Structure 1
Amino acid sequence: MSTPLETEPGAATAAPESVLVGEKRIEGRSLGQIAWARLRRDKVALGGGFLVIFLVIVAIFAPLIVGVLGHPPNEFHQELVDPDLQVPTARFGGVSSDFLFGVEPINGRDLFSRVLYGSQISLLIAFLATLLSVAIGTTMGVIAGFVGGAVDGLISRLMDIFLAFPLIVFALALVGVIPDTAFGLRGDALRIAVIVFIIGFFNWPYIGRIVRGQTLSLREREFVDAARSMGARTPYILVKELLPNLVAPILVYATLLIPSNILFEAALSYLGVGVQPPRATWGGMLADAARWYQVDPWFMLPPGLAIFVTVLAFNLFGDGLRDALDPRSR
């Protein structure tokens, strides 16, 4: 019988996270590093990600950008509007070095400034509503998937009810009758809070179903059994064992939920129950442009392209992020 090999005193042993090949040590990579390497190879998704970052920066610093390149969003420039036709006198909606996107009909407000200020409203509502949906959906989905039984049945039926609820009708009814002051808020702040609540609270079942399905699979894995065998309680398993493994699908779905929330906010503003004038919103600008498209079609392009580019950027980044975090979904 052969004797086991013995290492000489002082001989180096390779760490489990690295392998020594010749004179070069190859370090192991974390799951985040592997996902980032995949994402870097996807140029389309990477471009969408950089565009998302650019749009967020533009929305945050909109007042500074407007101060340098534009005019106040509610400042009238009626000298640039034909007094008879009520449309900009210059071609292409009055586009010039002073008005990069042209001016509105009737009052001549700067479209560039209004598009930038509108991005603040759209992105703020989309991000907050997505955060609310993710928080509720993740909590309910994890509980339903892990506990199971009657709790799972109750939460699943609750998801079905919310998914069958006519959200747009409820939003029109609720936003249209809110008072001027409530919950310590008033004006635009109150409307933004109500819109965020409606979008976020009634969209949580979509992510809740995804999280529930993933939890049903994860609760049977070995690391969960090991945690139970060591005496871990249910809250510890949910927070320390399951949630870290749910970050990838939650993050991917959140990036895909943001553009749908942007479109929903734009639809509410288009229907006249979103943030009220004179505050600039993309949907409100499209609603105004719809009345002038026959005589001034340019008016529709800036807000329409802003929505298109923003939604496209988030979708491209979300698809690439999904492929990077779960290559089997290709």
Structure 2
Amino acid sequence: MTAPLDATESAQHAEPEAITQGVRDIASRSLTQIAWQRLRRDKVALGGGVVVVLLILVAIFAPLLTHWFGYPPNEFHQDLINPSTQGVLGDDPNDPFSTDKMGGISWEHLLGLEPVNGRDLFSRIVYGAQISLLIAFLSTILCVIIGTVLGITAGYFGGVVDTVISRTMDIFLAFPLLLFAIALAGVIPDGAFGLTDNGLRVSVLIFIIGFFSWPYIGRIVRGQTLTLKEREFVEAARSLGAGTGHILFREILPNLVAPILVYATLLIPTNILFEAALSFLGVGINPPTPTWGGMLSNSLDYYTQAPHFVIIPGLAIFVTVLAFNLFGDGLRDAFDPRSSD
């Protein structure tokens, strides 16, 4: 009779220990670890993240890729263009897989050729990724810096400071950004501030997108700061004599990293589309520098003769924006404190 009692007592002692160990395991995980575990279970978000990483690598190693698999993006191949139709020359008009019907797609030209001038589409798509991602990333960084500084200032200090910054946000949100960008890009001189041609245009586009988009993230940061400054850990830091700088940068700002990171990943595709729209309208990057929007604009006259000229840059924009959106949605769910483990 004593053996079952001993087993029962052992089980009763073991159960609280197991619960305590489980609580310790949960408590030992940081927010980053919890978010990573949630993100790993979201296969769609991980797929978007993989595509984003691949796009970044393609943009970084564009010269190497075009050296291995293509040609310089502005190199003409007029010997492959039919002078009468301005389309790609075909080997056999009765062959449905002839190079003219396939847009010149071959082992030498993986994505085919542009009509009229015969430039390699693979090289231009790869180099176009450089422009799109460069403008999108740098303008997003500028937007995050301005929005975070002004948002946390408005939310923490309140009063007149909050009123002035909030009304400034409202003015910027009501500003016709696209019309302003078209007007400003149309009057950009050939050189200024030590920059010339497309270097100046890239800088101006980064400034326009970043400077006029900060209210979106500024409102999010302000709202989060209004909540965080009333939390117990901020009150504890204030009661221990911590200054304003310590509270802002050591207590509040680390708790804003997650929402800022999530919104930044969702803002990047918006900036990619904005740059593509400006290039499509002819007020973005000057040719012959390849951009996805500019390639779409040039393809409108040849969509019946060379449909691949429209489809390929359109797919590049679509896949890039979709990948960033899927990854951003996954990050948002991963950092959401209401999400279940």
Q: Tell me if TM exceeds 0.5.
A: yes
Report the 3-state secondary structure (helix = DSSP H, G, I; strand = E; otherwise coil) of the residue aligned with 1:289.
helix
> Scaled by the length of structure 1, what TM-score is found?
0.91
> Scaled by the length of structure 2, what TM-score is found?
0.88
Which aligned pairs between 1:32-71 and structure 2 lie closer than 5 A? 32-71=32-71
Which aligned pairs between 1:1-330 and structure 2 lie closer than 5 A? 28-89=28-89, 90-328=100-338
Report the 3-state secondary structure (helix = DSSP H, G, I; strand = E; otherwise coil) of the residue aligned with 2:103.
helix
**Letter matched to residue 320 of structure 1:** G
Give the direction of change, closer, same or farther, for the CA distance of 1:155–1:34 in structure 2 (3 Å limit).
same
- 8 Å Cα contact 1:115-1:281 kept in structure 2: yes
C-alpha distance in structure 2 between counterparts of 1:26 and 1:311, whole Å: 35
Offset at 1:92?
A: 2.0
- 8 Å Cα contact 1:20-1:26 kept in structure 2: no
Offset at 1:216?
A: 0.6
C-alpha distance in structure 2 between counterparts of 1:91 and 1:186, whole Å: 40
Give the direction of change, closer, same or farther, for the CA distance of 1:91–1:212 in structure 2 (3 Å limit).
same
Instruction: Structure 2 unaligned segments of length 5 or more: list them.
Output: 1-17, 90-99
C-alpha distance in structure 2 between counterparts of 1:112 and 1:254, whole Å: 29
Give the direction of change, closer, same or farther, for the CA distance of 1:190–1:19 in structure 2 (3 Å limit).
farther
Report the 3-state secondary structure (helix = DSSP H, G, I; strand = E; otherwise coil) of the residue aligned with 1:328.
coil
C-alpha distance in structure 1 between counterparts of 2:173 and 2:247, whole Å: 29
Runs of 4+ in structure 1 displaced over 4 angstroms? 18-22, 24-27
C-alpha distance in structure 1 between counterparts of 2:43 and 2:285, whole Å: 36
Report the 3-state secondary structure (helix = DSSP H, G, I; strand = E; otherwise coil) of the residue aligned with 1:94.
coil
**Letter matched to residue 164 of structure 2:** L
Report the 3-state secondary structure (helix = DSSP H, G, I; strand = E; otherwise coil) of the residue aligned with 1:95.
coil
- The number of residue pairs the alignment matches comes to 312
Offset at 1:328?
A: 2.4
Report the 3-state secondary structure (helix = DSSP H, G, I; strand = E; otherwise coil) of the residue aligned with 1:49.
helix
Q: CA RMSD in A?
A: 1.8
C-alpha distance in structure 1 between counterparts of 2:328 and 2:181, whole Å: 27
